[in-house]
């Protein structure tokens, strides 16, 4: 067993609890001890008062003479009750009481010479001026008090010891659990992101805390994995064009200078660089959008006008490619948002439908607002739909068409920024790709989304 | 035409100064915000090209100081942060245009020329004319040598922008931004399609071409050359 260090939690808590319990139980027992003494003395006073009452009755019946006789009897008997009768001038008439005052009215505690025990006395002045004093030994009470005086330290000590042991055990248990959490946290810190905090299974506060932290760790692990994935993607997708550019320049350097060929080569190089820069810009924009940048600049955006405007720009592009673009826009659809990002999202969807899809492009904005852009091309196989929303994901057949592979990733990021979501499905008649941009806000996105059962359709 | 370039990166400053010099501009270069602000406040310039991030007062601070002093010289802001919100911030601070680094020189040239030619605020123009091409902004009509043409709204906006900047090379990025408010480059050839449609309409009556394509840069709208344009 490991010896707890000086900075250890358990012994310190045990000690603290021990001291607190010691002091409180000592004070408690001490108070009880004082109260007990007080009660004993009051009991004694009652007995004295009763005795005095008896003697006074004698006085009323037999007069001073009778009282003196009674006092003498008490003195002779040498019982615990002592009686002293003093004449009005202070001379003793009967009885003996060492250390008695010359005159006493009411209760008093008398301390005679050393070696003798203290006395509790009660004095009464009789109608003729004589003074009757009854007293009793306090030795009994004193002995009881002395015996009881051990109670506070014994009670305090025992309680403190018990508290010390219990406190140590409980604190030790806490310490062990914290040590488990600490070890796991350290492992996570060292790079083991899959490590989770131990749980005892009792569902107590520690388990709930560990549960929360574990959920946080799972989220961090997912985010880090995503960042790693993106970094890999970036490295991969930028390495290819950069190496192509390098080869092109190298080849040009190696051959003799020729104005026309050089110009063509340089033009190609600039185009290649522009493509790389466009990829960078798109990545930056997605990253910023995903970080939620720009949300504070949200203004009411007339989505109907925005979609109509973009469709108007793309209509001729479709026609030029021998295709058609049909827009069906519900009027007056507005949401708070970023017009620039929404415009780009809509444009990306149309770019995508025109660049990678086929046939007529259908743009429909339904009240909600829910925007869907569908084409009649080859579509995207269901198992690939989740992936095309990721950065740089491109279907094999799209490898040679222009584009950064970031278009739909940005659409997804813009949707999330606006509290909406993107789903991929088929176009009308089960052909082509249909992308739905649901912008009904937080309420819609938190509702359970059943595939194929989109409400409001 | 005198241009002030405020740019702390030596290579970029030289590149801009040399390029604009070749275009026939007189170029002054300031390498930090303090010198730039001093020059801008004390010398007359037609256009100021300023980096956004500068040692000393940065681009936005210079811009605010200039506007606060009542100097309305057009400012083209350069920035490495190509983001929409940054753009808005710069435009709100009083920048007349915004260009993200790295940029093609053609892009910079097009924007500088657009700013330099910007007419002083005057009474609303209601008619534009380039060569025999006439545009009535109130009645939304376009005619070439008396031959009226039908223009779709987006084509009309494109032609209007080109007619406001005749003889200048207008890049695709500039057209996307100014005509359609697209702050990004679509993957499809949106600009080319619209320009070629407008071009076809302008030449439908067998007239000489007015829109010329500048390879690797953009488009120019100009009156047809007198002989065999």
Q: Which residues of B touch A398 (CB under 8 A)?
A: none
Q: What total of structural domains would you count in chain A?
A: 3
pLDDT higher than 60, residue B120: no
Same domain, A381 and A263: no
Q: Pick the closest to residue B174 from B127, B123, B121, B114 (CA basis).
A: B114
pLDDT digits (tens, 9 = 90+) for A54-102: 888 888 888 888 888 888 888 787 777 888 888 888 788 887 777 777 7
Please indicate, yes or no, if residue A457 is contained in any of the structural domains: no
Same domain, A299 and A440: yes
Please indicate, yes or no, if residue B18 is contained in any of the structural domains: yes
Please indicate, yes or no, if residue A454 is contained in any of the structural domains: no
Which of B90, B116, B142 is the last residue in one of the domains?
B116
- Cβ B184–A281 below 8 Å, yes or no? yes
Q: What is the dihedral of CA A396, A401, A406, A409, to 10 degrees?
A: -60
B130: three-class secondary structure by DSSP: strand
- Rounded to whole angstroms, the Cα distance separating B155 from B179 reads 9
Six-digit token string for A73: 């009897």
Report the range of poorest mean pLDDT among A74-88, A211-225, B83-97: B83-97
pLDDT higher than 90, residue B199: yes
- Tell me the shortest Cα–Cα distance from B63 to chain A, in angstroms: 22
> What integer best gives the mean pLDDT of chain A?
82
Same domain, A311 and A234: no
- Predicted confidence at residue A126, as pLDDT, reads 86
- Tell me the shortest Cα–Cα distance from B182 to chain A, in angstroms: 7
**Residue A272 pLDDT level (bands cut at 50, 70, 90):** confident
Query: Which of A317, A321, A322, A339 to mutate to probe the B interface, most B CBs <10 Å?
Result: A317
- Cβ A270–B180 below 8 Å, yes or no? no
Which residues are CB-neighbours of B107 under 8 A, at least 6 positions away?
A: B99, B171, B173, B174
Same domain, A340 and A235: no
Same domain, A264 and A324: no
Q: Which residues of B touch A354 (CB under 8 A)?
A: 188
Please indicate, yes or no, if residue B21 is contained in any of the structural domains: yes
Please indicate, yes or no, if residue A3 is contained in any of the structural domains: no
Q: What total of structural domains would you count in chain B?
A: 2
- Predicted confidence at residue B122, as pLDDT, reads 56
- Cβ B188–A314 below 8 Å, yes or no? yes
- Cβ B85–A284 below 8 Å, yes or no? no
Q: Is A232 exposed, middle or buried (0-12, 13-18, 19+ CB in 10 A)?
A: exposed
For chain B, give the percent of residues with pLDDT over 90: 44
Same domain, B112 and B142: no
The whole-number average pLDDT for the span B128-132 is: 91
Domain encompassing residue B139: 127-221
Same domain, B15 and B65: yes
Six-digit token string for B213: 């394509």
The whole-number average pLDDT for the span A1-16 is: 68
Please indicate, yes or no, if residue A388 is contained in any of the structural domains: yes
Higher pLDDT pick, B204 / A388: B204
- Tell me the shortest Cα–Cα distance from A280 to chain B, in angstroms: 10
Same domain, A311 and A430: yes
Q: Pick the closest to residue B121 from B147, B91, B96, B153 (CA basis).
A: B96
Same domain, B143 and B112: no
Six-digit token string for A406: 């970031």
For chain A, give the percent of residues with pLDDT over 90: 13
Same domain, A308 and A350: yes
Confirm if A103 and A123 have CB atoms less than 8 A apart.
Answer: yes
Query: Which of B84, B172, B218 to mutate to probe the A interface, most A CBs <10 Å?
Result: B84
Same domain, B9 and B90: yes
Query: In this complex, which of A293, A314, A348 lies closest to B85 when CB atoms are compared?
Result: A293
The whole-number average pLDDT for the span B22-43 is: 92
Same domain, B91 and B135: no
pLDDT higher than 80, residue A353: yes
- Rounded to whole angstroms, the Cα distance separating A130 from A127 reads 7
Stretch (H or E) spanning B35: helix B33-42
Q: How far is CA A286 from the centre of its chain?
A: 33
Per residue, the 3-state secondary structure of chain A, as one string, reads CCCCCCCCHHHHHHHHHHHHHHHHHHHHHHHHHHHHHHHHHHHHHHHHHHHHHHHHHHHHHHHHHHHHHHHHHHHHHCCCEEEEEECCCCCEEEECCCCCCCCCCEEEEECCCCCCCCEEEEEEECCCCCEEEEEEECHHHHHHHHHHCCHHHHHHHHHHHHHHHHHHHHHHHHHHHHHHHHHHHHHHHCCCCCCCCCCCCCCCHHHHHHHHHHHHHHHHHHHHHHHHHHHHHHHHHHHHHHHHHHHHHHHHHHCCCCHHHHHHHHHHHHHHHHHHHHHHHHHHHHHHHHCCCCHHHCEEEEHHHHHHHHHHHHHHHHHHCCCCEEEEECCCCEEEECHHHHHHHHHHHHHHHHHHCCCCEEEEEECCCEEEEECCCCCCCHHHHHHHCCCCCCCHHHCCCCCCCCHHHHHHHHHHHCCCEEEEEECHHHCCEEEEEECCCHHHHHCCCCCCCCCCC
Please indicate, yes or no, if residue A107 is contained in any of the structural domains: yes
Stretch (H or E) spanning B220: strand B218-221
The top-scoring range by mean pLDDT among A128-142, A256-270, A311-325, A392-406 is A311-325
Which of B116, B136, B167 is the last residue in one of the domains?
B116
Q: Pick the closest to residue B42 from B50, B51, B34, B52 (CA basis).
A: B34
Q: Count residue pairs from A and B with Cβ separation < 8 A.
A: 72
pLDDT digits (tens, 9 = 90+) for A292-334: 766 777 889 999 999 999 999 999 999 999 999 999 999 999 9
pLDDT digits (tens, 9 = 90+) for A155-173: 888 888 888 888 888 888 8
CATH label of the domain that carries residue A38: 3.30.450.20
Report the range of poorest mean pLDDT among A159-163, A337-341, A379-383: A379-383
CATH label of the domain that carries residue B54: 3.40.50.2300
Q: Which residues of A touch B83 (CB under 8 A)?
A: 284-285, 288, 293
The whole-number average pLDDT for the span B17-25 is: 90
Same domain, B111 and B12: yes
- Cβ A351–B104 below 8 Å, yes or no? no
Please indicate, yes or no, if residue B171 is contained in any of the structural domains: yes
**C-alpha R_g of chain B:** 19
- Predicted confidence at residue B118, as pLDDT, reads 63
- Cβ B188–A294 below 8 Å, yes or no? no
Which of A261, A289, A317 is the last residue in one of the domains?
A289
Q: Which residues of A touch B194 (CB under 8 A)?
A: 313, 316
The whole-number average pLDDT for the span A30-55 is: 88
- Rounded to whole angstroms, the Cα distance separating A11 from A455 reads 62
Same domain, A104 and A227: no
Same domain, A304 and A434: yes
- Cβ A403–B187 below 8 Å, yes or no? yes
**Residue A451 pLDDT level (bands cut at 50, 70, 90):** very low
CATH label of the domain that carries residue B179: 1.10.10.10
Domain encompassing residue A434: 294-445
Same domain, B29 and B60: yes
Confirm if B44 and B3 have CB atoms less than 8 A apart.
Answer: no
pLDDT digits (tens, 9 = 90+) for A388-423: 777 666 655 555 555 666 788 889 888 988 888 898
- Cβ B187–A267 below 8 Å, yes or no? no
Q: What phi and psi, each to the nearest 5 degrees, are found at residue B79? A: -150, 150
Please indicate, yes or no, if residue B132 is contained in any of the structural domains: yes
Query: In this complex, which of B154, B181, B188 lies closest to A351 when CB atoms are compared?
Result: B188
Six-digit token string for A228: 């790693």
Confirm if A307 and B126 have CB atoms less than 8 A apart.
Answer: no
Instruction: For A405, name the nearest residue in chain B, comparing CA atoms only.
Output: B187
Please indicate, yes or no, if residue B88 is contained in any of the structural domains: yes
pLDDT higher than 50, residue B98: yes
Residue B97: how many CB atoms within 10 A of its CB? 23
Same domain, B106 and B143: no
The whole-number average pLDDT for the span A129-141 is: 84
The whole-number average pLDDT for the span A199-216 is: 87
Q: How far is CA A12 from CA A9, A19, A182, in A?
A: 5, 11, 19
Stretch (H or E) spanning B47: strand B47-51
Which of B56, B83, B116 is the last residue in one of the domains?
B116
pLDDT digits (tens, 9 = 90+) for B55-82: 888 888 999 999 899 888 999 998 875 5
Same domain, B90 and B180: no
- Rounded to whole angstroms, the Cα distance separating A328 from A362 reads 8
Which of A144, A176, A203 is the last residue in one of the domains?
A144
Same domain, A63 and A35: yes
CATH label of the domain that carries residue A439: 3.30.565.10
Same domain, A233 and A300: no
Residues in chain B: 229
Q: How far is CA B31 from CA B12, B37, B55, B108, B175, in A?
A: 11, 11, 8, 19, 31
pLDDT higher than 70, residue A26: yes
Instruction: For B89, name the nearest residue in chain A, comparing CA atoms only.
Output: A297
- Cβ A351–B189 below 8 Å, yes or no? no
Report the range of poorest mean pLDDT among A162-166, A286-290, A417-421, B187-191: A286-290
Same domain, A103 and A229: no
- Predicted confidence at residue A21, as pLDDT, reads 86
- Rounded to whole angstroms, the Cα distance separating A58 from A70 reads 8
- Rounded to whole angstroms, the Cα distance separating B12 from A57 reads 126
Six-digit token string for A361: 């492009």
- Cβ A312–B154 below 8 Å, yes or no? yes
- Predicted confidence at residue A7, as pLDDT, reads 64
Please indicate, yes or no, if residue B6 is contained in any of the structural domains: yes
Q: What is the ipTM of this complex?
A: 0.77
Please indicate, yes or no, if residue B229 is contained in any of the structural domains: no
Q: Pick the closest to residue A102 from A83, A80, A117, A84 (CA basis).
A: A84
Same domain, B78 and B151: no
Residues in chain A: 457
- Predicted confidence at residue B193, as pLDDT, reads 94
* Angle (nearest 5°) at CA A362 between A360 and A365: 170
Which of A289, A314, A329 is the last residue in one of the domains?
A289
- Predicted confidence at residue A82, as pLDDT, reads 82
Query: Which of A314, A316, A399 to mutate to probe the B interface, most B CBs <10 Å?
Result: A316
Please indicate, yes or no, if residue A219 is contained in any of the structural domains: yes
pLDDT higher than 80, residue A288: no
Same domain, B136 and B110: no
- Predicted confidence at residue A87, as pLDDT, reads 84
Confirm if A8 and A131 have CB atoms less than 8 A apart.
Answer: no
- Cβ B82–A402 below 8 Å, yes or no? no
Same domain, B102 and B73: yes
Query: In this complex, which of B82, B104, B187 lies closest to A355 when CB atoms are compared?
Result: B187
- Tell me the shortest Cα–Cα distance from B181 to chain A, in angstroms: 8
CATH label of the domain that carries residue A231: 1.10.287
- Cβ A274–B88 below 8 Å, yes or no? no
- Tell me the shortest Cα–Cα distance from A382 to chain B, in angstroms: 25
């Amino acid at each position: 067993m490991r010896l707890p260090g000086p900075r250890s939690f358990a012994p310190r808590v045990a000690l603290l609890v021990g001291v607190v319990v010691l002091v409180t139980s000592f004070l408690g027992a001490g108070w009880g001890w004082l109260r007990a003494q007080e009660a004993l003395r009051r009991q004694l006073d009652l007995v004295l008062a009763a005795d005095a009452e008896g003697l006074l009755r004698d006085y009323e019946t037999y007069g001073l003479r009778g009282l003196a006789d009674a006092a003498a009897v008490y003195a002779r008997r040498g019982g615990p009750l002592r009686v002293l009768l003093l004449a009005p001038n202070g001379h003793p008439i009967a009885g003996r009481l060492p250390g008695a005052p010359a005159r006493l009215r009411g209760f008093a505690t008398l301390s005679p010479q050393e070696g003798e025990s203290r006395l509790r006395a009660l004095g009464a002045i009789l109608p003729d001026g004589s003074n009757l004093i009854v007293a009793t030994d306090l030795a009994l009470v004193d002995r009881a008090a002395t015996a009881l005086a051990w109670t506070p330290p014994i009670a305090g000590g025992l309680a403190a010891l018990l508290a010390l042991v219990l406190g140590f055990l409980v604190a030790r248990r806490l310490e062990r659990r914290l040590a488990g959490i600490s070890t796991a946290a350290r492992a996570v810190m060292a790079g083991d992101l899959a490590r989770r905090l131990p749980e005892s299974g009792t569902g107590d506060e520690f388990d709930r805390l560990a549960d929360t932290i574990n959920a946080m760790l799972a989220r961090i692990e997912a985010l880090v994995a995503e960042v790693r994935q993106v970094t890999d993607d970036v490295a991969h997708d930028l390495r290819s064009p950069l190496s192509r550019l390098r080869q092109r320049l190298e080849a040009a350097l190696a051959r003799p200078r020729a104005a026309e060929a050089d110009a063509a080569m340089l033009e190609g190089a600039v185009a290649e660089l522009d493509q790389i820069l466009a990829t960078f810009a798109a990545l930056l924009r997605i990253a910023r959008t995903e970080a939620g940048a720009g949300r504070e600049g949200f203004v009411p955006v007339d989505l109907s006008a925005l979609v109509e405007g973009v469709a108007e720009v793309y209509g001729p592009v479709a026609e030029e490619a021998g295709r058609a673009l049909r827009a069906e826009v519900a009027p007056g659809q507005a949401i708070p948002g970023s017009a620039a990002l929404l415009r780009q999202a809509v444009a990306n969807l149309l770019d995508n439908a025109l660049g990678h899809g086929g046939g007529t492009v259908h743009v429909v904005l339904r009240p909600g607002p829910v925007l869907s852009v569908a084409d009649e091309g080859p579509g995207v196989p269901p198992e690939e739909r989740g992936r095309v929303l990721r950065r740089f994901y491109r279907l094999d057949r799209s490898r040679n068409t222009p584009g950064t592979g970031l278009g739909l990733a940005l659409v997804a990021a813009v949707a999330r920024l606006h509290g909406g979501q993107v789903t991929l499905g088929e176009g009308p008649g089960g052909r082509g790709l249909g992308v739905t941009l649901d912008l009904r806000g937080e309420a819609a996105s938190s509702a359970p989304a059943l595939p194929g059962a989109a409400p409001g359709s | 035409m005198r241009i002030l370039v405020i740019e702390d990166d030596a290579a970029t400053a030289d590149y801009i100064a040399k390029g604009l010099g070749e275009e026939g501009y007189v170029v002054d270069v300031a390498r930090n915000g303090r010198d730039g602000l001093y020059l801008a406040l004390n010398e007359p310039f037609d256009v100021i090209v300023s980096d956004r991030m500068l040692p000393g007062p940065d681009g936005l601070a210079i811009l605010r100081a200039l506007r606060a002093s009542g100097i309305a010289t057009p400012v083209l802001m350069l920035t490495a942060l190509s983001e929409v919100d940054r753009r808005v911030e710069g435009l709100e601070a009083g920048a007349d245009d915004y260009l993200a680094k790295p940029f093609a020189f053609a892009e910079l040239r097009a924007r500088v020329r657009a700013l330099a030619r910007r007419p002083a605020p005057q009474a609303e123009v209601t008619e534009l004319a380039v060569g025999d091409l006439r545009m009535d902004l109130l009645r939304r009509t376009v005619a070439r040598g008396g031959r009226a043409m039908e223009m779709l709204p987006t084509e009309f906006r494109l032609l209007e922008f080109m007619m406001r900047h005749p003889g200048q090379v207008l890049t695709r990025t500039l057209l996307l931004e100014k005509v359609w408010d697209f702050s990004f480059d679509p993957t499809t050839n949106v600009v080319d399609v619209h320009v070629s449609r407008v071009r076809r309409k302008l030449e439908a009556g067998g007239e000489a071409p007015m829109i010329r394509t500048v390879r690797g840069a953009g488009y120019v709208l100009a009156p047809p050359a007198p002989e065999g344009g």
